[in-house]
Amino acid sequence: MGTEKWETQKVLGRDEVLRDIENRAQAYSERVVQDVKEMMNDYEVDMYRLILAVGKRYGLDTAYEIMSETVTDKRLKWLDQAQEWLVLEGTDLEKGLKLFISYFKPKEGDLKIIERTERKVVFRRKEFVNAITHTCGVLGLDIVDVNNKIYTRATNFMFEKINLKLKHVVLAYQDGWYDEMIEKAS
């Protein structure tokens, strides 16, 4: 594959990307990362279009709940696997934050604590891929609402599974950063 083709033609299809990923990654690492991000964005938009179609038939809250169940299944499977190495110590709030960080694995500087009290921890987290943000923009969905109906629900099931009386919520989103809170459940 010549550089002219690589620079002028978008890579299409998962199979093509995956077949030659190692060679292309070595030669064109930044472009490969960008193409994979674009593929992830396209996939996310397609997935949400399906959710919106289900929502038209059964109601959007039901569609979000169905999607949240798939996210929850994935996170609980991860939690089952992580139990072998995951060490959670301290208060429920400290354990919840440690679990959150262990799952999302933010890079240095991509998670900043804004406020910490006995009842809650508020933090800002950078979203690396931004596929959900892209999708919400394309489809005209509210990113905070989508996150709270799908993804925070899944995190809350993780807390519940290990008997943490906590609640996760997304407060805001701006310029690639989520403002989030983990608080003691009432």
**Whole-number Cα distances in Å, 156 to 79, 107, 108:** 12, 23, 24
How many domains, the chain? 1
Asked if the structure places residue 133 within a domain, the reply is: yes
Owner of token pair 């279009």: 49
Residue whose structure tokens are 């500087």: 109
User: What's the pLDDT score for residue 5?
Assistant: 53
Position 2 scores a pLDDT of 53
* 37: in domain: no
Residue 50's pLDDT is 92
Please check whether residue 11 lies inside any domain of the structure: no
3-state secondary structure of 125: strand
- The reported pLDDT for the residue numbered 101 is 95
The boundaries of the domain holding residue 126 are 72-184
Per-block mean pLDDT, blocks of 10 residues, the chain (186 long): 54 54 72 82 89 95 95 94 92 96 92 97 90 92 96 96 97 96 94
Helices (H), 126-179: 131-139, 143-146, 152-161
Q: Model pTM?
A: 0.80
Is 14 contained in some domain?
Answer: no
Task: Supply the pLDDT for residue 34.
Answer: 83
Backbone angles phi, psi at 105, to 5 degrees: 50, 60
Residue 42 lies in a domain: no
Q: Is residue 35 part of a domain?
A: no
Does residue 48 belong to any structural domain of this protein? no
Dist. CA 131–CA 162, nearest whole Å: 29
- Among 154, 161, 150, CA closest to 81: 161
Q: What is the pLDDT of residue 144?
A: 97
- Whole-angstrom CA distances from 160 to 98, 107, 112, 169, 184 are 15, 26, 24, 14, 12
In-domain check, residue 108: yes
In degrees, rounded to 5, the angle at the alpha carbon of residue 11 between the alpha carbons of residues 19 and 174 is: 115
